[in-house]
Structure 1
Protein backbone atom coordinates (compact mmCIF):
# COMPACT_ATOMS: atom_id res chain seq x y z
CA UNK A 1 0.00 0.00 0.00
CA UNK A 2 1.51 3.30 -1.11
CA UNK A 3 0.69 6.58 0.57
CA UNK A 4 2.08 10.07 0.96
CA UNK A 5 5.14 10.24 3.23
CA UNK A 6 5.98 13.52 4.97
CA UNK A 7 9.62 14.56 4.94
CA UNK A 8 10.26 13.33 8.49
CA UNK A 9 9.10 9.88 7.41
CA UNK A 10 11.34 9.83 4.35
CA UNK A 11 14.38 10.89 6.39
CA UNK A 12 13.56 8.28 9.00
CA UNK A 13 13.10 5.71 6.26
CA UNK A 14 16.65 6.23 5.00
CA UNK A 15 18.11 5.63 8.46
CA UNK A 16 15.87 2.63 9.17
CA UNK A 17 16.50 1.04 5.80
CA UNK A 18 20.26 1.40 6.19
CA UNK A 19 20.10 -0.20 9.63
CA UNK A 20 18.08 -3.15 8.35
CA UNK A 21 20.43 -3.68 5.42
CA UNK A 22 23.32 -3.87 7.87
CA UNK A 23 21.81 -7.06 9.30
CA UNK A 24 22.15 -10.43 7.68
CA UNK A 25 18.89 -11.83 6.16
CA UNK A 26 18.78 -14.50 8.84
CA UNK A 27 18.86 -11.91 11.64
CA UNK A 28 16.11 -9.47 10.64
CA UNK A 29 12.82 -11.37 10.99
CA UNK A 30 9.35 -10.10 11.69
CA UNK A 31 8.74 -13.02 14.05
CA UNK A 32 11.80 -11.80 16.01
CA UNK A 33 10.99 -8.06 16.30
CA UNK A 34 14.01 -7.33 18.48
CA UNK A 35 16.27 -8.11 15.52
CA UNK A 36 14.76 -5.33 13.38
CA UNK A 37 16.14 -1.79 13.95
CA UNK A 38 13.51 0.88 13.44
CA UNK A 39 13.50 4.65 13.84
CA UNK A 40 10.62 6.99 14.63
CA UNK A 41 7.86 6.96 13.48
CA UNK A 42 6.54 3.48 12.62
CA UNK A 43 3.12 2.65 11.17
CA UNK A 44 2.25 -0.82 12.40
CA UNK A 45 -1.44 -0.93 11.42
CA UNK A 46 -2.53 0.61 8.15
CA UNK A 47 -5.45 0.08 5.73
CA UNK A 48 -7.37 2.04 3.11
CA UNK A 49 -11.11 2.64 2.84
CA UNK A 50 -13.47 4.61 0.61
CA UNK A 51 -14.78 8.06 1.51
CA UNK A 52 -16.51 10.66 -0.72
CA UNK A 53 -13.79 13.24 -1.31
CA UNK A 54 -16.22 16.09 -1.89
CA UNK A 55 -17.72 15.85 1.61
CA UNK A 56 -18.90 18.88 3.54
CA UNK A 57 -18.69 17.06 6.89
CA UNK A 58 -16.56 14.07 7.88
CA UNK A 59 -16.91 12.69 11.38
CA UNK A 60 -15.98 9.70 13.54
CA UNK A 61 -16.03 8.73 17.20
CA UNK A 62 -12.90 7.05 18.56
CA UNK A 63 -12.58 5.03 21.75
CA UNK A 64 -9.06 3.91 22.66
CA UNK A 65 -8.84 0.92 24.99
CA UNK A 66 -5.04 0.70 25.03
CA UNK A 67 -3.66 1.03 28.56
CA UNK A 68 -2.44 4.51 29.51
CA UNK A 69 1.06 3.26 30.30
CA UNK A 70 1.58 2.87 26.56
CA UNK A 71 2.60 6.31 25.30
CA UNK A 72 3.42 7.94 21.95
CA UNK A 73 0.74 6.23 19.85
CA UNK A 74 -1.27 8.15 17.25
CA UNK A 75 -4.69 6.85 16.13
CA UNK A 76 -5.61 8.67 12.93
CA UNK A 77 -7.47 8.92 9.64
CA UNK A 78 -5.74 10.32 6.54
CA UNK A 79 -7.75 11.54 3.52
CA UNK A 80 -5.82 11.66 0.25
CA UNK A 81 -5.75 14.80 -1.91
CA UNK A 82 -6.04 14.55 -5.70
CA UNK A 83 -2.82 16.46 -6.32
CA UNK A 84 -0.80 14.60 -3.69
CA UNK A 85 -0.68 14.93 0.06
CA UNK A 86 -3.90 15.19 2.02
CA UNK A 87 -4.98 15.78 5.59
CA UNK A 88 -5.22 13.80 8.79
CA UNK A 89 -6.93 14.04 12.13
CA UNK A 90 -6.45 11.90 15.19
CA UNK A 91 -5.76 11.52 18.89
CA UNK A 92 -2.55 10.86 20.85
CA UNK A 93 -3.38 9.73 24.43
CA UNK A 94 -0.73 10.17 27.16
CA UNK A 95 -0.35 8.52 30.58
CA UNK A 96 -0.64 11.90 32.37
CA UNK A 97 -4.38 12.15 31.74
CA UNK A 98 -3.98 14.44 28.74
CA UNK A 99 -4.12 13.81 25.01
CA UNK A 100 -2.74 15.56 21.99
CA UNK A 101 -5.04 16.02 19.01
CA UNK A 102 -3.86 16.84 15.49
CA UNK A 103 -5.56 18.28 12.41
CA UNK A 104 -3.03 18.85 9.64
CA UNK A 105 -2.88 19.39 5.88
CA UNK A 106 0.06 18.19 3.77
CA UNK A 107 0.57 20.13 0.55
CA UNK A 108 1.22 23.56 -0.93
CA UNK A 109 -0.96 26.66 -0.62
CA UNK A 110 -2.67 26.08 2.74
CA UNK A 111 -3.14 29.01 5.13
CA UNK A 112 -3.43 28.57 8.93
CA UNK A 113 -6.48 30.32 10.39
CA UNK A 114 -6.16 29.69 14.14
CA UNK A 115 -3.58 30.64 16.75
CA UNK A 116 -2.90 26.96 17.48
CA UNK A 117 -2.05 26.32 13.82
CA UNK A 118 1.24 27.02 12.10
CA UNK A 119 2.71 26.86 8.62
CA UNK A 120 4.39 23.59 7.67
CA UNK A 121 3.64 19.91 8.18
CA UNK A 122 6.51 17.60 9.13
CA UNK A 123 9.00 20.15 7.70
CA UNK A 124 7.24 20.33 4.35
CA UNK A 125 4.47 22.43 2.80
CA UNK A 126 1.21 22.38 4.71
CA UNK A 127 -0.40 23.45 7.95
CA UNK A 128 -0.26 21.76 11.36
CA UNK A 129 -2.95 22.39 13.98
CA UNK A 130 -3.10 20.83 17.39
CA UNK A 131 -4.00 20.93 21.05
CA UNK A 132 -2.01 19.10 23.73
CA UNK A 133 -4.07 19.55 26.88
CA UNK A 134 -7.26 17.65 26.10
CA UNK A 135 -8.53 15.93 29.23
CA UNK A 136 -8.30 12.23 28.47
CA UNK A 137 -9.77 9.15 30.14
CA UNK A 138 -8.94 5.70 28.79
CA UNK A 139 -12.00 4.07 27.25
CA UNK A 140 -13.88 7.36 26.83
CA UNK A 141 -15.38 8.30 23.47
CA UNK A 142 -14.23 11.37 21.54
CA UNK A 143 -15.84 12.59 18.34
CA UNK A 144 -13.62 14.27 15.74
CA UNK A 145 -15.32 16.26 13.00
CA UNK A 146 -13.96 17.96 9.88
CA UNK A 147 -16.28 20.56 8.40
CA UNK A 148 -15.85 22.33 5.08
CA UNK A 149 -17.13 25.86 4.42
CA UNK A 150 -16.59 28.01 1.37
CA UNK A 151 -15.01 31.46 1.27
CA UNK A 152 -14.12 33.82 -1.56
CA UNK A 153 -10.45 32.91 -1.04
CA UNK A 154 -10.98 29.15 -1.11
CA UNK A 155 -12.44 26.26 0.90
CA UNK A 156 -11.96 26.33 4.68
CA UNK A 157 -11.66 23.13 6.73
CA UNK A 158 -12.22 23.23 10.49
CA UNK A 159 -11.47 20.36 12.86
CA UNK A 160 -13.20 19.90 16.23
CA UNK A 161 -13.16 17.28 18.98
CA UNK A 162 -15.99 16.56 21.40
CA UNK A 163 -15.75 14.67 24.69
CA UNK A 164 -18.87 12.51 24.42
CA UNK A 165 -19.07 12.01 28.21
CA UNK A 166 -18.96 15.71 29.12
CA UNK A 167 -20.25 17.25 25.90
CA UNK A 168 -17.32 19.69 25.83
CA UNK A 169 -16.40 20.75 22.29
CA UNK A 170 -13.03 22.18 21.31
CA UNK A 171 -11.64 23.43 18.02
CA UNK A 172 -8.46 21.62 16.99
CA UNK A 173 -7.73 24.12 14.23
CA UNK A 174 -8.64 25.43 10.79
CA UNK A 175 -6.91 26.02 7.48
CA UNK A 176 -7.88 27.47 4.11
CA UNK A 177 -6.93 25.90 0.79
CA UNK A 178 -6.48 27.78 -2.51
CA UNK A 179 -9.46 28.41 -4.77
CA UNK A 180 -7.88 26.15 -7.39
CA UNK A 181 -7.45 23.25 -4.95
CA UNK A 182 -8.20 20.05 -6.89
CA UNK A 183 -10.09 18.45 -4.00
CA UNK A 184 -9.76 15.19 -2.11
CA UNK A 185 -9.86 11.68 -3.54
CA UNK A 186 -12.57 9.16 -2.71
CA UNK A 187 -10.01 7.35 -0.59
CA UNK A 188 -8.79 7.50 3.00
CA UNK A 189 -6.41 5.58 5.22
CA UNK A 190 -6.70 4.39 8.82
CA UNK A 191 -3.37 4.09 10.57
CA UNK A 192 -1.91 3.52 14.02
CA UNK A 193 1.56 4.89 14.48
CA UNK A 194 4.19 4.65 17.19
CA UNK A 195 5.84 8.03 16.77
CA UNK A 196 8.40 8.01 19.59
CA UNK A 197 10.39 5.56 21.70
CA UNK A 198 11.24 3.16 18.89
CA UNK A 199 14.58 1.31 18.89
CA UNK A 200 13.52 -1.97 17.34
CA UNK A 201 10.22 -3.44 16.20
CA UNK A 202 9.98 -5.16 19.60
CA UNK A 203 8.82 -1.75 20.90
CA UNK A 204 5.52 -2.06 19.01
CA UNK A 205 2.73 -2.48 21.62
CA UNK A 206 -0.60 -4.23 21.66
CA UNK A 207 -3.50 -1.85 21.00
CA UNK A 208 -7.27 -1.80 21.09
CA UNK A 209 -9.29 0.94 19.44
CA UNK A 210 -12.85 1.19 18.17
CA UNK A 211 -14.39 3.65 15.73
CA UNK A 212 -18.12 4.29 15.50
CA UNK A 213 -20.25 6.74 13.56
CA UNK A 214 -17.70 7.09 10.75
CA UNK A 215 -19.72 9.19 8.32
CA UNK A 216 -19.43 11.58 5.41
CA UNK A 217 -22.33 14.02 5.20
CA UNK A 218 -24.32 11.79 7.52
CA UNK A 219 -23.86 8.57 5.56
CA UNK A 220 -21.98 5.65 7.21
CA UNK A 221 -18.82 4.47 5.48
CA UNK A 222 -18.02 0.83 4.74
CA UNK A 223 -15.14 -1.17 6.19
CA UNK A 224 -13.84 -4.66 5.54
CA UNK A 225 -13.29 -7.19 8.32
CA UNK A 226 -10.06 -9.14 8.09
CA UNK A 227 -7.24 -10.78 10.04
CA UNK A 228 -3.61 -9.80 9.59
CA UNK A 229 -0.98 -12.43 10.40
CA UNK A 230 2.59 -11.45 11.18
CA UNK A 231 5.10 -12.72 8.62
CA UNK A 232 8.81 -13.44 8.68
CA UNK A 233 9.63 -10.48 6.43
CA UNK A 234 10.19 -6.95 7.76
CA UNK A 235 8.44 -4.10 5.99
CA UNK A 236 10.19 -1.06 4.57
CA UNK A 237 10.77 2.57 5.53
CA UNK A 238 8.00 3.99 7.70
CA UNK A 239 6.42 0.51 7.52
CA UNK A 240 9.48 -1.41 8.75
CA UNK A 241 7.39 -2.81 11.65
CA UNK A 242 4.20 -3.38 9.65
CA UNK A 243 4.48 -7.19 9.81
CA UNK A 244 5.38 -7.77 13.44
CA UNK A 245 1.87 -7.76 14.97
CA UNK A 246 -1.08 -10.09 14.55
CA UNK A 247 -4.25 -8.02 14.50
CA UNK A 248 -7.92 -8.22 13.60
CA UNK A 249 -10.34 -5.69 12.16
CA UNK A 250 -13.96 -6.43 13.01
CA UNK A 251 -16.98 -4.54 11.69
CA UNK A 252 -19.86 -4.62 14.20
CA UNK A 253 -22.07 -2.20 12.22
CA UNK A 254 -22.01 0.12 9.19
CA UNK A 255 -19.71 3.04 9.83
CA UNK A 256 -17.88 1.15 12.59
CA UNK A 257 -14.78 -0.97 13.05
CA UNK A 258 -12.58 -2.24 15.90
CA UNK A 259 -8.87 -3.02 15.76
CA UNK A 260 -7.22 -5.39 18.25
CA UNK A 261 -3.56 -6.29 18.03
CA UNK A 262 -1.22 -8.51 20.03
CA UNK A 263 2.19 -7.72 21.43
CA UNK A 264 5.04 -8.11 19.02
CA UNK A 265 6.72 -11.46 19.64
CA UNK A 266 10.08 -11.04 21.38
Structure 2
Protein backbone atom coordinates (compact mmCIF):
# COMPACT_ATOMS: atom_id res chain seq x y z
CA UNK A 1 0.00 0.00 0.00
CA UNK A 2 1.20 3.52 -0.80
CA UNK A 3 1.00 5.43 2.47
CA UNK A 4 0.98 8.79 0.65
CA UNK A 5 -2.48 7.99 -0.73
CA UNK A 6 -4.22 7.96 2.65
CA UNK A 7 -4.74 9.94 5.84
CA UNK A 8 -6.23 7.81 8.58
CA UNK A 9 -8.76 9.38 10.90
CA UNK A 10 -7.36 10.21 14.33
CA UNK A 11 -10.19 9.44 16.72
CA UNK A 12 -10.95 6.80 19.38
CA UNK A 13 -13.04 4.56 17.15
CA UNK A 14 -13.69 1.04 18.45
CA UNK A 15 -11.49 -1.81 17.29
CA UNK A 16 -12.58 -3.10 13.93
CA UNK A 17 -13.71 0.27 12.54
CA UNK A 18 -11.45 1.75 9.86
CA UNK A 19 -11.77 5.33 8.60
CA UNK A 20 -9.66 7.47 6.27
CA UNK A 21 -9.59 10.10 3.57
CA UNK A 22 -7.60 9.77 0.38
CA UNK A 23 -5.11 12.39 -0.72
CA UNK A 24 -4.38 13.45 -4.28
CA UNK A 25 -1.04 11.60 -4.25
CA UNK A 26 0.12 8.25 -5.58
CA UNK A 27 -2.40 7.68 -8.35
CA UNK A 28 -2.55 7.45 -12.13
CA UNK A 29 -4.36 10.65 -13.19
CA UNK A 30 -2.49 13.32 -15.15
CA UNK A 31 -2.47 17.11 -15.55
CA UNK A 32 -4.73 19.03 -13.16
CA UNK A 33 -6.22 15.79 -11.90
CA UNK A 34 -2.87 14.57 -10.67
CA UNK A 35 -2.93 12.01 -9.44
CA UNK A 36 -5.22 9.89 -7.21
CA UNK A 37 -8.52 11.26 -8.48
CA UNK A 38 -11.54 9.13 -7.54
CA UNK A 39 -14.26 11.29 -9.09
CA UNK A 40 -15.69 9.45 -12.07
CA UNK A 41 -17.59 12.51 -13.34
CA UNK A 42 -14.90 15.11 -12.64
CA UNK A 43 -13.80 15.44 -16.26
CA UNK A 44 -10.83 13.11 -15.85
CA UNK A 45 -10.38 10.06 -18.06
CA UNK A 46 -12.89 7.55 -16.71
CA UNK A 47 -10.74 4.48 -17.23
CA UNK A 48 -7.97 6.14 -15.26
CA UNK A 49 -10.39 6.96 -12.43
CA UNK A 50 -11.62 3.35 -12.44
CA UNK A 51 -8.00 2.21 -12.19
CA UNK A 52 -7.50 4.55 -9.21
CA UNK A 53 -10.62 3.09 -7.60
CA UNK A 54 -9.25 -0.41 -8.12
CA UNK A 55 -5.99 0.63 -6.46
CA UNK A 56 -7.98 1.85 -3.46
CA UNK A 57 -9.92 -1.43 -3.21
CA UNK A 58 -6.71 -3.45 -3.39
CA UNK A 59 -4.79 -1.24 -0.97
CA UNK A 60 -7.49 -1.43 1.69
CA UNK A 61 -8.21 -5.12 1.12
CA UNK A 62 -11.91 -4.38 0.77
CA UNK A 63 -14.19 -7.37 0.23
CA UNK A 64 -16.35 -5.38 -2.19
CA UNK A 65 -15.97 -1.99 -3.85
CA UNK A 66 -17.22 0.97 -1.81
CA UNK A 67 -20.73 2.11 -2.61
CA UNK A 68 -20.10 5.12 -4.85
CA UNK A 69 -23.00 7.54 -4.56
CA UNK A 70 -24.46 9.97 -7.06
CA UNK A 71 -24.21 13.03 -4.80
CA UNK A 72 -26.76 15.83 -5.26
CA UNK A 73 -26.35 18.00 -2.12
CA UNK A 74 -29.46 16.45 -0.58
CA UNK A 75 -30.28 14.45 2.56
CA UNK A 76 -30.97 10.93 1.25
CA UNK A 77 -29.11 8.15 3.04
CA UNK A 78 -28.34 4.94 1.12
CA UNK A 79 -27.76 1.44 2.44
CA UNK A 80 -24.13 0.62 1.66
CA UNK A 81 -24.95 -3.08 1.88
CA UNK A 82 -27.10 -2.82 -1.26
CA UNK A 83 -25.68 -3.83 -4.62
CA UNK A 84 -26.95 -0.84 -6.58
CA UNK A 85 -24.04 1.52 -7.23
CA UNK A 86 -24.48 5.26 -7.82
CA UNK A 87 -27.69 5.59 -5.86
CA UNK A 88 -28.74 9.24 -5.73
CA UNK A 89 -27.87 10.08 -2.13
CA UNK A 90 -25.43 12.13 -0.06
CA UNK A 91 -24.82 9.70 2.77
CA UNK A 92 -24.55 5.97 3.33
CA UNK A 93 -24.87 3.67 6.34
CA UNK A 94 -23.53 0.14 6.84
CA UNK A 95 -23.97 -2.55 9.47
CA UNK A 96 -22.30 -5.33 7.53
CA UNK A 97 -18.56 -5.97 7.96
CA UNK A 98 -16.66 -5.35 4.76
CA UNK A 99 -19.18 -2.95 3.21
CA UNK A 100 -17.58 0.49 3.02
CA UNK A 101 -19.43 3.80 3.07
CA UNK A 102 -17.80 6.45 0.87
CA UNK A 103 -18.36 10.08 -0.07
CA UNK A 104 -16.45 12.21 -2.58
CA UNK A 105 -15.44 15.81 -1.84
CA UNK A 106 -13.32 18.69 -3.09
CA UNK A 107 -14.13 21.47 -0.55
CA UNK A 108 -17.42 20.15 0.87
CA UNK A 109 -17.18 18.55 4.32
CA UNK A 110 -17.01 14.76 4.63
CA UNK A 111 -18.28 13.45 7.99
CA UNK A 112 -17.66 9.87 9.12
CA UNK A 113 -19.65 8.23 11.91
CA UNK A 114 -19.60 5.13 14.07
CA UNK A 115 -21.21 4.11 17.34
CA UNK A 116 -19.27 3.23 20.47
CA UNK A 117 -19.91 -0.49 20.01
CA UNK A 118 -18.66 -0.41 16.43
CA UNK A 119 -21.78 -2.10 15.06
CA UNK A 120 -22.82 0.61 12.60
CA UNK A 121 -20.87 3.12 10.49
CA UNK A 122 -21.89 5.94 8.14
CA UNK A 123 -20.49 8.66 5.89
CA UNK A 124 -22.07 11.96 4.84
CA UNK A 125 -21.28 14.56 2.18
CA UNK A 126 -21.98 17.93 3.79
CA UNK A 127 -21.56 21.05 1.74
CA UNK A 128 -23.48 24.09 2.89
CA UNK A 129 -26.62 23.00 1.03
CA UNK A 130 -26.57 19.58 2.66
CA UNK A 131 -25.83 21.02 6.07
CA UNK A 132 -28.71 23.45 6.04
CA UNK A 133 -31.06 20.83 4.57
CA UNK A 134 -30.25 18.35 7.35
CA UNK A 135 -27.97 15.68 5.89
CA UNK A 136 -26.18 15.15 9.22
CA UNK A 137 -29.47 14.77 11.07
CA UNK A 138 -30.72 12.29 8.45
CA UNK A 139 -27.51 10.27 8.68
CA UNK A 140 -27.57 10.06 12.47
CA UNK A 141 -31.23 9.03 12.39
CA UNK A 142 -30.49 6.32 9.81
CA UNK A 143 -27.89 4.72 12.09
CA UNK A 144 -30.68 3.60 14.41
CA UNK A 145 -28.73 3.96 17.65
CA UNK A 146 -28.93 6.60 20.42
CA UNK A 147 -27.18 9.76 19.14
CA UNK A 148 -25.24 10.10 22.38
CA UNK A 149 -23.49 6.79 21.53
CA UNK A 150 -22.24 8.12 18.17
CA UNK A 151 -18.89 9.71 17.41
CA UNK A 152 -18.04 11.72 14.29
CA UNK A 153 -14.88 12.65 12.41
CA UNK A 154 -14.71 15.76 10.23
CA UNK A 155 -12.52 15.29 7.18
CA UNK A 156 -10.81 17.91 4.99
CA UNK A 157 -13.01 20.79 3.82
CA UNK A 158 -12.51 24.37 2.76
CA UNK A 159 -11.55 26.57 5.71
CA UNK A 160 -13.42 29.67 6.78
CA UNK A 161 -11.03 32.26 5.39
CA UNK A 162 -11.42 30.74 1.92
CA UNK A 163 -15.16 30.06 1.95
CA UNK A 164 -17.03 33.17 0.87
CA UNK A 165 -20.84 33.01 0.67
CA UNK A 166 -23.71 35.40 0.01
CA UNK A 167 -25.98 36.83 2.71
CA UNK A 168 -28.85 34.58 1.61
CA UNK A 169 -26.85 31.50 2.60
CA UNK A 170 -26.12 32.86 6.06
CA UNK A 171 -29.80 33.71 6.51
CA UNK A 172 -30.81 30.12 5.81
CA UNK A 173 -28.60 28.90 8.65
CA UNK A 174 -29.71 31.64 11.04
CA UNK A 175 -33.36 30.82 10.37
CA UNK A 176 -32.83 27.42 11.97
CA UNK A 177 -30.22 28.28 14.59
CA UNK A 178 -29.71 31.90 15.56
CA UNK A 179 -26.70 30.88 17.62
CA UNK A 180 -24.77 29.81 14.54
CA UNK A 181 -23.98 33.47 13.83
CA UNK A 182 -20.61 32.74 15.44
CA UNK A 183 -19.76 30.61 12.38
CA UNK A 184 -19.73 33.68 10.08
CA UNK A 185 -17.38 36.64 9.85
CA UNK A 186 -17.77 39.60 7.47
CA UNK A 187 -16.16 39.32 4.06
CA UNK A 188 -16.08 41.76 1.14
CA UNK A 189 -19.13 43.98 0.74
CA UNK A 190 -22.22 42.05 1.75
CA UNK A 191 -20.38 38.70 1.62
CA UNK A 192 -19.59 36.44 4.58
CA UNK A 193 -16.93 33.86 5.38
CA UNK A 194 -18.49 30.64 6.67
CA UNK A 195 -16.96 28.02 8.96
CA UNK A 196 -18.24 24.64 7.72
CA UNK A 197 -16.54 22.84 10.58
CA UNK A 198 -18.25 24.94 13.24
CA UNK A 199 -21.62 24.72 11.50
CA UNK A 200 -21.32 20.93 11.46
CA UNK A 201 -20.22 20.74 15.08
CA UNK A 202 -23.21 22.85 16.17
CA UNK A 203 -25.65 20.64 14.32
CA UNK A 204 -24.09 17.50 15.71
CA UNK A 205 -24.08 18.86 19.25
CA UNK A 206 -27.76 19.75 18.94
CA UNK A 207 -28.35 16.07 18.16
CA UNK A 208 -26.36 15.14 21.32
CA UNK A 209 -23.50 13.84 19.19
CA UNK A 210 -20.77 15.40 21.32
CA UNK A 211 -17.83 13.16 20.45
CA UNK A 212 -16.63 15.10 17.42
CA UNK A 213 -13.07 14.90 16.11
CA UNK A 214 -11.03 16.19 13.16
CA UNK A 215 -11.61 19.50 11.42
CA UNK A 216 -8.00 20.66 11.20
CA UNK A 217 -7.50 20.60 7.43
CA UNK A 218 -8.12 23.04 4.57
CA UNK A 219 -8.74 21.55 1.14
CA UNK A 220 -8.16 24.96 -0.50
CA UNK A 221 -4.84 25.83 1.15
CA UNK A 222 -3.29 22.34 1.25
CA UNK A 223 -2.95 21.96 -2.51
CA UNK A 224 -0.24 19.32 -2.17
CA UNK A 225 -2.66 16.98 -0.39
CA UNK A 226 -6.19 17.81 -1.48
CA UNK A 227 -8.36 18.74 -4.42
CA UNK A 228 -10.37 21.97 -4.25
CA UNK A 229 -13.13 22.95 -6.65
CA UNK A 230 -12.99 26.59 -5.55
CA UNK A 231 -9.26 26.69 -6.21
CA UNK A 232 -9.03 24.59 -9.39
CA UNK A 233 -12.52 24.76 -10.91
CA UNK A 234 -13.50 22.08 -13.41
CA UNK A 235 -9.98 20.65 -13.38
CA UNK A 236 -10.45 19.53 -9.78
CA UNK A 237 -10.41 15.86 -8.88
CA UNK A 238 -12.15 14.34 -5.86
CA UNK A 239 -10.96 12.76 -2.63
CA UNK A 240 -12.86 9.91 -1.03
CA UNK A 241 -13.64 9.59 2.68
CA UNK A 242 -14.37 6.01 3.68
CA UNK A 243 -15.43 4.10 6.75
CA UNK A 244 -16.03 0.37 7.15
CA UNK A 245 -16.10 -2.47 9.63
CA UNK A 246 -13.36 -5.05 9.27
CA UNK A 247 -14.69 -8.62 8.91
CA UNK A 248 -13.89 -10.78 11.94
CA UNK A 249 -11.04 -13.21 11.55
CA UNK A 250 -12.01 -16.91 11.58
Alignment TM-score > 0.5, same fold: no
- Structure ID, larger Rg: 1
* Greater helix fraction, Structure 1 or Structure 2: 2
TM-score between the two structures when normalised by the length of structure 1: 0.28
